[in-house]
Structure 1
Amino acid sequence: MELRGTIDESAVLPGLVPPEPDPIETGAIGGGPYEPFSSGALWPDEELAADHSIDLSGDRPARRNNEPDTQVTPSLSSDSATAGSRMNTRAEPTEPVTGRQNPRAAALQGGMLRRDDDPHAPIGLRAGTFNLFPSLEQGVTASTNGTSSPGGRSATFSETTLRLSASSDWSRHALDFNGNLTYEGALSGDAESELKGNAEVALRVDISRSVTGHASIAYLAERESFNSPHAVAGVDKQPLQHEITGTAAIEKSLGPLRLTAGGRIVRETFGPARLDDGTTFPQSDRNSTLALATLRAGYELSPTLVPFVEIEGGRRNYDQKTDSAGYKRSSRRYGARAGVQFDRGEKLRGEISAGWIAEDFDDDRLRRLAGLALAASIQWSPIRGTNVFFDASTNLEDGSGGDSGSLRYLASLRVERQMRANLTGSLEFGGAWRDYEAGGHDLTLHGEASLAWWLNRYAALVTRLRYERQTSSDPSREYDGTSIYVGMKLQR
């Protein structure tokens, strides 16, 4: 028996998948009426989201049946300095589609917590939209040179340090705070009770996809070191120094170009030095304000590598037209440097640069202070549980009397290692080279080893051993000292 008739193509038998329309017939290929992005979205990411074949939430994109076994994943650089970089795509093979797909549900923690994460990291406190991380450290230090200065004697003193860091939890922009306050109480020997501290607030504003604003303000208060070039001889206490620093910058991305314009203002004031007989020696002629403007241009060779050039210029004005010796110390400062930024995530990130910096004084009797400017800030994690930090900087230090001042180069290398789940240690090596314009130099080297034994997530026993030595072209500035610290740290 023969059956004749027509097949209704709109009817679909159970278990069968209807065929996709021919892309040529529908105009999807060949310049027909098909428009891939018709959602009216302003940004490419929104246009991709309008096409239901891609899910921007981070899970596997949903595919229609009979689609090729590849997916296109948009990726953007996460660093704010490279915001607005070009979109890169890559094709990744996926398993064939076999019937209904059952995507795996994400963990409630969002994948942020893992079994092997640091078990002694601070939990913090929640305050509105901010996460707070307070800590308190109390201990005792014994030193063979309590003042870290030539002729210093042994001393013992207690140290109490309160630290607080906070960060915002906003969908856009970011506000961070870091501060610490330390009280050193004299117990015996060549030591004086002191209170010192610093604090910094930093704000990042995401103005648009390609424009980011930065602003910060920092405050520092501490007594000037006995080995400073300005140290007053024969005093009981060196002057107390206050420093306020404000910065602002705008970053703009134009294709592969990274442009930054910024400014910095530094205000320094000094209290009087107290002489042995109880009288005071004023230091107000050292009070000054430094204003600098900086321009930087970089080119993104890749999302992880951005070489750059930078120029700066500004002026330092002293409150008093002439100092106590009759010199006009106000000056003009300018410099230029070239370097490279790199960012490979948690593995390696930072920047390094080299250039030239100079300062010309209003008083013709003072010679120009100029020299090589080096700077670096690098974080490297060669293996899990080990972190390496390298920092370097160049500072221009003002002088006194007929001395123009000095260039000071600083560098430090610190290695941190989690030796056991509850035992962490670190080694630090550092140095400072001070080159006087009038001739002569100082070289200061130090080494420090520390251990932290965690009793639980909230408490740890801490110990530090430090050695410091300074050699100089002037033997009267040489000294060395060894100190050991034992204490306990509490954190939340």
Structure 2
Amino acid sequence: MVAMSGAQPEKSRGRQGKAVCALLLATSVLALLRPAPLHAQETELRGEVSESAIRSDQQRKARQLALATQGQQQSANTAQDDAPPRTYLPASAGAVPDDTGTDAATGSIFDPPQATDDTSTDNPTPPKPRRRPSSAGQNTAGQDKTKADAKSKKKKKTAAATTDTTSSTTASTTDAAGTTATDQEAANRRALTIDSADRQKLDPGAERTAAIEGQNKKAEDDPFAPTGVKWGSFVIRPSIEQGLTATTNGDSSSAGTSALLSETALRFTAVSDWRENSATIDGYGLFRETVSGYRVHDAQGRIEGQLNVDLDNELRAIAKLGYEAVPETASSPNAIAGVSTQPLRQTIDGSLGVEKAVGKMQYTLTGAVSHDFYGDAELSDGTTLSQKDQDNTLYTATLRTGYEISPALTPFTEIEVGRRAYNQRIDDEGFERSSTRLGARAGLQLDMGEKLSGEFSAGWLREAIDDKSLEAISGATVNADLKWSPERGTTIGLTGKTTVETTTTAGESGDILYSGRLTTERQIRANLTANAALGFDWRDYVGIDGHDRILSAETGLTWWLNRYAGLTTRVRTEKLTSNLPGRDYTANSIYLGLKVQR
């Protein structure tokens, strides 16, 4: 009993000592492992690690590497647009210590522990124990060193290959950084005032465009000229004039008396707007009717067209065609005394010419045809008197040669040959009136623009009648068509014409009529125009000793109310003096009317 009781305390004491030793050993091991969890790994004493944790850690690192690579590429592509943030640089060296820390933690299970407030970690981490390398380890270290040298060489080559790319990327980054710096400097400038933008001078190319109504339009040369009406490829400018004429001689004859006449004048001009060739059509109609006084009832008119066609090699063709209807005037040599109505003379004429320029020489060949036919005369007793024996046709051919001394002066010569053929070879009086024509002229053509233009010529014309008992009609010829503008708004014109007039009077061959007109037009104001004219006619009879002299003068005004309507007035005087009996007369008249144009 004693022995058993004495042995129990000894056994209990031994168990307690083992427990204390085990507790001390566990505490020591825990104290060593807690501050250095990687010590076992570094000393190749790593314990068991979960495969799933390692796999997830590797996948996360791969994703982070891919994101980092993508971010670098995007940064290189947008280096010029998005400038990198500026790194703060201290004013003096050493103001802020350099960042010498290690790379940031990646969150891996192999990262070192983060600093905590645990008092048990105040002690510094003990140095890593190093194990003496074995011979196998030394061999492995040598192989690793060789591989490291090879990798170093490869890295140097790679760095050299990527130098250009890095340089371009750096340059782009530098430019972007400079732009960012400029933007930041501009953002720090003093703010502009509210009205400073309005005070700045605009770029000439960005100035406000003026309104259409406010643009300066070029002033028209004649603001009251007719605008015309577009009809196909022609522009037509029609006009109508209606007025009253008070005259002292109703029909301009030796037996005429005063009368109040109603006058209506229709005129039009049509001009083509073709690009190369051109065409014009002109026409007029004049109607006179007695309102009171001496009986007058007549109408006359003319229409003519001209076509210019450019062929080739300085060759141009000119074609003309016209029609005219005019009653014989009481002062005409062919007028019939004692009739109530003079016969109506109608004329159809046409011509075709070809112009050719060879150097400074100019050649023009023109062929013309003119046919006159007469109506019957109404006698006072109501009977009629035929005038068919006066119907005739004139054929002519003219060759013109000119030499251009200068663009303004071109002297020329003309040769004309022709034949006049009567419908009745022998007239009612038994005479053969057909004749042969021959003429020559020399003149000068002027072209000085608006200042002076036109031509004039002088020559000789002879028309020999087939009947030898009748004297040939011959004499000097003078023709002119000149326009001179001494100043703007003033135009002076001079026209002259020589005409051979035939007759069927027994024993007479006909006469030569010389006509001349001097006209002046002055634009006093834009809507007020004045005009004046002086006329001189001389008729020389062939076969008898007779002549007529006609003097005339006229002046007028036109006041435009607007572009389409105006008031016009004119005063005219005319006097015929002849050495033949019963031909003298004097006529004075005044006209007032309204003119409408389009």
| Pairwise TM-score range, normalised by the shorter structure | 0.7 to 0.9
CA distance in 1, matches of 2:325, 2:409: 37
The reply to whether residue 137 of structure 1 matches residue 241 of structure 2 is yes
Q: 2:261 aligns with which of 157, 165, 180?
A: 157
CA distance in 1, matches of 2:294, 2:370: 33
CA distance in 1, matches of 2:581, 2:250: 20
Query: SS of 2:365's equivalent?
Result: strand
CA distance in 1, matches of 2:380, 2:231: 48
CA distance in 1, matches of 2:297, 2:465: 38
Instruction: Show the 5 A alignment for 1:203-282.
Output: 203-282=307-386
Q: Counterpart in 1 of 2:478?
A: 374
Instruction: Show the 5 A alignment for 1:19-30.
Output: none
Query: SS of 2:241's equivalent?
Result: strand
CA distance in 1, matches of 2:280, 2:408: 25
Query: SS of 2:582's equivalent?
Result: helix
Q: Counterpart in 2 of 1:458?
A: 564
In structure 1, runs of 5+ residues without a counterpart are 1-107
* Per-residue deviation, 1:209: 4.4
The reply to whether residue 484 of structure 1 matches residue 557 of structure 2 is no
CA distance in 1, matches of 2:254, 2:287: 24
CA distance in 2, matches of 1:393, 1:446: 16
Q: How many residues align?
A: 381
List 4+ stretches of structure 1 deviating above 6 A: none
Instruction: Show the 5 A alignment for 1:123-202.
Output: 123-202=227-306
CA distance in 2, matches of 1:256, 1:295: 17
Q: Counterpart in 2 of 1:410?
A: 515
CA distance in 1, matches of 2:517, 2:408: 24
Larger helix proportion of the pair: 2
CA distance in 2, matches of 1:153, 1:435: 27
CA distance in 1, matches of 2:496, 2:356: 27
Q: Counterpart in 2 of 1:20?
A: none
Q: Deviations over 1:13-58 (max 9, x none)?
A: xxxxxxxxxxxxxxxxxxxxxxxxxxxxxxxxxxxxxxxxxxxxxx
Give % identity.
46
Q: Counterpart in 2 of 1:473?
A: 579
CA distance in 1, matches of 2:220, 2:572: 32
CA distance in 1, matches of 2:265, 2:411: 39
* Per-residue deviation, 1:477: 0.9
CA distance in 2, matches of 1:275, 1:177: 37
Q: Counterpart in 1 of 2:548?
A: 442
The reply to whether residue 422 of structure 1 matches residue 527 of structure 2 is yes
Q: Deviations over 1:144-163 (max 9, x none)?
A: 00010112111111111121
Aligned-CA RMSD value: 1.2
CA distance in 1, matches of 2:335, 2:231: 44
AA in 2 matched with 1:402: G
Query: SS of 1:476's equivalent?
Result: coil
* Per-residue deviation, 1:215: 0.4
Q: 2:415 aligns with which of 291, 295, 311?
A: 311
AA in 2 matched with 1:418: Q
**Residue 157 of structure 1 contacts residue 191 of structure 1 at CA under 8 Å; is this kept in 2?**
no
CA distance in 1, matches of 2:293, 2:535: 27
AA in 1 matched with 2:408: T
* Per-residue deviation, 1:440: 1.1
* Per-residue deviation, 1:322: 1.1
Instruction: Show the 5 A alignment for 1:74-93.
Output: none
AA in 2 matched with 1:340: L
Query: SS of 1:351's equivalent?
Result: strand
CA distance in 2, matches of 1:324, 1:145: 33
* Per-residue deviation, 1:228: 0.5
AA in 1 matched with 2:589: S
AA in 1 matched with 2:571: L
* Per-residue deviation, 1:128: 2.1
**Residue 156 of structure 1 contacts residue 191 of structure 1 at CA under 8 Å; is this kept in 2?**
no
AA in 2 matched with 1:481: A
AA in 2 matched with 1:188: S
The reply to whether residue 334 of structure 1 matches residue 446 of structure 2 is no
Query: SS of 1:285's equivalent?
Result: helix
Q: 1:387 aligns with which of 455, 467, 491?
A: 491
Structure 1 stretch displaced more, 185-194 or 473-482: 185-194
**Residue 145 of structure 1 contacts residue 152 of structure 1 at CA under 8 Å; is this kept in 2?**
yes
AA in 2 matched with 1:404: S
Q: Counterpart in 1 of 2:188?
A: none
Q: Deviations over 1:84-129 (max 9, x none)?
A: xxxxxxxxxxxxxxxxxxxxxxxx9xxxx83151110111111122
Larger strand proportion of the pair: 1
**Residue 252 of structure 1 contacts residue 260 of structure 1 at CA under 8 Å; is this kept in 2?**
yes
CA distance in 2, matches of 1:209, 1:487: 50
Q: TM-score, normalised by structure 2?
A: 0.63
CA distance in 1, matches of 2:581, 2:531: 33
CA distance in 1, matches of 2:536, 2:590: 19
**Residue 132 of structure 1 contacts residue 166 of structure 1 at CA under 8 Å; is this kept in 2?**
yes
Query: SS of 1:301's equivalent?
Result: coil
Query: SS of 2:407's equivalent?
Result: coil
Larger radius of gyration: 2
AA in 2 matched with 1:417: R
Q: Deviations over 1:442-487 (max 9, x none)?
A: 0001000010011011100000110000011124211101011110
CA distance in 2, matches of 1:265, 1:426: 35
CA distance in 2, matches of 1:419, 1:165: 25
* Per-residue deviation, 1:195: 2.3
CA distance in 2, matches of 1:233, 1:193: 17
CA distance in 1, matches of 2:416, 2:455: 18
**Residue 272 of structure 1 contacts residue 280 of structure 1 at CA under 8 Å; is this kept in 2?**
yes
Q: Counterpart in 2 of 1:24?
A: none
CA distance in 2, matches of 1:487, 1:203: 34
Q: Counterpart in 1 of 2:36?
A: none
CA distance in 1, matches of 2:272, 2:302: 20
Q: Deviations over 1:164-216 (max 9, x none)?
A: 11000011110100001222122112232222211001000011240010001
CA distance in 1, matches of 2:263, 2:257: 18
* Per-residue deviation, 1:289: 0.3
**Residue 398 of structure 1 contacts residue 404 of structure 1 at CA under 8 Å; is this kept in 2?**
yes
The reply to whether residue 349 of structure 1 matches residue 453 of structure 2 is yes
Query: SS of 2:218's equivalent?
Result: coil
AA in 2 matched with 1:490: V
